[in-house]
Amino acid sequence: MNTRQLPKAQESLADYVNRQREALGLTRIALAERAGIHKQSLGKIERGQTQTLNRRTLSSLSKALEVPMDYLDAVVRGQAGELGPSLKFCPQCWQAGTAPDPIWTDPRSQYCFMCGTGLQNACGACGEPLHSLTFRFCPHCGQPYKQASTATDS
Protein backbone atom coordinates (compact mmCIF):
# COMPACT_ATOMS: atom_id res chain seq x y z
CA MET A 1 0.00 0.00 0.00
CA ASN A 2 1.30 3.42 -0.93
CA THR A 3 1.51 5.66 2.17
CA ARG A 4 0.88 8.80 0.06
CA GLN A 5 -2.68 7.54 -0.30
CA LEU A 6 -3.34 7.62 3.43
CA PRO A 7 -5.53 10.45 4.65
CA LYS A 8 -3.68 12.79 6.96
CA ALA A 9 -4.95 13.80 10.38
CA GLN A 10 -7.55 16.58 10.07
CA GLU A 11 -7.32 16.52 6.25
CA SER A 12 -10.53 17.70 4.60
CA LEU A 13 -12.20 15.87 1.76
CA ALA A 14 -11.29 18.79 -0.50
CA ASP A 15 -7.60 18.65 0.43
CA TYR A 16 -7.45 14.86 0.16
CA VAL A 17 -9.07 14.65 -3.28
CA ASN A 18 -6.94 17.51 -4.57
CA ARG A 19 -3.74 15.93 -3.20
CA GLN A 20 -4.52 12.53 -4.72
CA ARG A 21 -5.50 14.06 -8.07
CA GLU A 22 -2.24 16.01 -8.26
CA ALA A 23 -0.21 12.94 -7.24
CA LEU A 24 -1.72 11.11 -10.22
CA GLY A 25 -0.93 14.06 -12.49
CA LEU A 26 -4.57 14.55 -13.46
CA THR A 27 -6.43 17.73 -14.23
CA ARG A 28 -9.84 18.29 -12.64
CA ILE A 29 -11.50 17.60 -15.97
CA ALA A 30 -9.53 14.37 -16.46
CA LEU A 31 -10.40 13.15 -12.96
CA ALA A 32 -14.08 14.02 -13.41
CA GLU A 33 -14.17 12.07 -16.69
CA ARG A 34 -12.28 9.15 -15.16
CA ALA A 35 -14.72 9.05 -12.22
CA GLY A 36 -17.78 9.56 -14.39
CA ILE A 37 -18.92 12.62 -12.44
CA HIS A 38 -19.68 16.14 -13.63
CA LYS A 39 -16.69 18.51 -13.55
CA GLN A 40 -18.78 21.00 -11.52
CA SER A 41 -19.41 18.30 -8.89
CA LEU A 42 -15.69 17.62 -8.63
CA GLY A 43 -15.06 21.37 -8.41
CA LYS A 44 -17.46 21.60 -5.45
CA ILE A 45 -15.70 18.68 -3.74
CA GLU A 46 -12.26 20.25 -4.23
CA ARG A 47 -13.47 23.69 -3.08
CA GLY A 48 -14.90 22.20 0.11
CA GLN A 49 -18.52 22.92 -0.82
CA THR A 50 -19.38 19.21 -0.69
CA GLN A 51 -18.67 17.41 2.58
CA THR A 52 -20.41 14.08 1.94
CA LEU A 53 -20.51 11.68 -0.98
CA ASN A 54 -23.16 9.19 -2.00
CA ARG A 55 -22.04 5.56 -2.41
CA ARG A 56 -21.91 5.73 -6.21
CA THR A 57 -19.76 8.86 -6.22
CA LEU A 58 -17.60 7.47 -3.43
CA SER A 59 -17.01 4.25 -5.36
CA SER A 60 -16.28 5.89 -8.71
CA LEU A 61 -14.05 8.55 -7.15
CA SER A 62 -12.07 5.96 -5.17
CA LYS A 63 -11.45 3.97 -8.38
CA ALA A 64 -10.45 7.10 -10.30
CA LEU A 65 -8.08 8.20 -7.52
CA GLU A 66 -6.80 4.62 -7.12
CA VAL A 67 -7.48 4.62 -3.37
CA PRO A 68 -9.60 2.31 -1.22
CA MET A 69 -13.15 3.47 -0.55
CA ASP A 70 -12.35 3.18 3.15
CA TYR A 71 -9.85 6.03 2.81
CA LEU A 72 -12.46 8.36 1.34
CA ASP A 73 -14.89 7.23 4.05
CA ALA A 74 -12.27 8.05 6.69
CA VAL A 75 -11.74 11.53 5.25
CA VAL A 76 -15.48 12.22 5.13
CA ARG A 77 -15.72 11.16 8.80
CA GLY A 78 -12.68 13.28 9.71
CA GLN A 79 -10.48 10.32 10.65
CA ALA A 80 -6.85 9.93 9.66
CA GLY A 81 -6.08 6.83 7.64
CA GLU A 82 -4.03 4.12 9.19
CA LEU A 83 -2.21 1.22 7.65
CA GLY A 84 -4.28 -1.38 9.34
CA PRO A 85 -4.41 -5.13 9.18
CA SER A 86 -5.18 -6.74 5.88
CA LEU A 87 -8.84 -7.32 5.23
CA LYS A 88 -9.80 -11.00 4.93
CA PHE A 89 -12.94 -13.02 5.48
CA CYS A 90 -14.08 -16.61 5.68
CA PRO A 91 -16.39 -17.41 2.76
CA GLN A 92 -18.24 -19.91 4.99
CA CYS A 93 -18.63 -17.99 8.27
CA TRP A 94 -18.76 -14.32 7.28
CA GLN A 95 -22.23 -12.80 7.26
CA ALA A 96 -22.67 -10.13 4.59
CA GLY A 97 -22.74 -6.61 6.01
CA THR A 98 -20.92 -7.51 9.23
CA ALA A 99 -17.34 -6.72 10.13
CA PRO A 100 -14.86 -9.55 9.64
CA ASP A 101 -13.78 -11.42 12.75
CA PRO A 102 -10.69 -9.64 14.17
CA ILE A 103 -8.64 -12.85 14.13
CA TRP A 104 -9.08 -13.06 10.35
CA THR A 105 -7.17 -9.78 9.94
CA ASP A 106 -4.08 -11.10 11.73
CA PRO A 107 -1.32 -11.26 9.09
CA ARG A 108 -0.55 -14.85 10.14
CA SER A 109 -4.15 -16.03 9.71
CA GLN A 110 -4.69 -18.09 6.59
CA TYR A 111 -7.63 -20.24 7.69
CA CYS A 112 -10.81 -19.63 9.64
CA PHE A 113 -10.39 -20.71 13.26
CA MET A 114 -14.05 -21.78 13.41
CA CYS A 115 -14.40 -23.96 10.30
CA GLY A 116 -10.92 -24.32 8.79
CA THR A 117 -11.84 -22.76 5.44
CA GLY A 118 -9.15 -20.72 3.69
CA LEU A 119 -9.56 -16.96 4.17
CA GLN A 120 -10.11 -14.70 1.14
CA ASN A 121 -8.54 -11.27 0.73
CA ALA A 122 -9.85 -10.55 -2.76
CA CYS A 123 -13.03 -10.86 -4.77
CA GLY A 124 -13.41 -14.44 -5.95
CA ALA A 125 -14.84 -13.29 -9.29
CA CYS A 126 -12.44 -10.53 -10.42
CA GLY A 127 -9.50 -10.84 -8.02
CA GLU A 128 -9.73 -7.20 -6.89
CA PRO A 129 -8.31 -6.83 -3.34
CA LEU A 130 -10.87 -6.21 -0.60
CA HIS A 131 -11.15 -2.62 0.54
CA SER A 132 -14.36 -2.94 2.50
CA LEU A 133 -16.86 -5.57 3.55
CA THR A 134 -19.63 -3.05 4.20
CA PHE A 135 -21.59 -4.48 1.30
CA ARG A 136 -22.12 -8.00 -0.04
CA PHE A 137 -21.00 -7.18 -3.56
CA CYS A 138 -17.64 -6.26 -5.09
CA PRO A 139 -17.73 -2.60 -6.20
CA HIS A 140 -15.56 -3.44 -9.21
CA CYS A 141 -17.40 -6.36 -10.83
CA GLY A 142 -20.73 -6.47 -8.95
CA GLN A 143 -20.43 -10.12 -7.98
CA PRO A 144 -21.19 -11.21 -4.40
CA TYR A 145 -18.14 -11.81 -2.19
CA LYS A 146 -19.80 -14.85 -0.69
CA GLN A 147 -21.05 -17.30 -3.28
CA ALA A 148 -24.34 -19.02 -2.51
CA SER A 149 -23.79 -22.55 -1.29
CA THR A 150 -25.41 -25.34 -3.19
CA ALA A 151 -26.82 -28.44 -1.58
CA THR A 152 -25.09 -31.66 -2.54
CA ASP A 153 -26.34 -35.19 -2.32
CA SER A 154 -24.84 -37.28 0.48
Distance CA 23, CA 128 (A): 22
At 148 the pLDDT is 55
**Alpha carbon of 47 to those of 52, 63, 76, 126: distances in Å?**
13, 21, 14, 35
Question: How buried is residue 62: exposed, middle or buried, by Cβ count under 10 Å (0-12/13-18/19+)?
Answer: buried
Tens of pLDDT, residues 19-65:
999 999 999 999 999 999 999 999 999 999 988 888 888 888 988 99
- pTM (whole model) above 0.75: no
**pLDDT tens figures, 77-131:** 776 654 444 678 888 888 877 777 778 877 678 898 889 999 888 888 877 777 6
Q: What's residue 26's pLDDT?
A: 94
**Residue 98 near residue 34 (C-beta atoms within 8 A):** no
Q: How far apart are CA 97 and CA 108, in angstroms?
A: 24
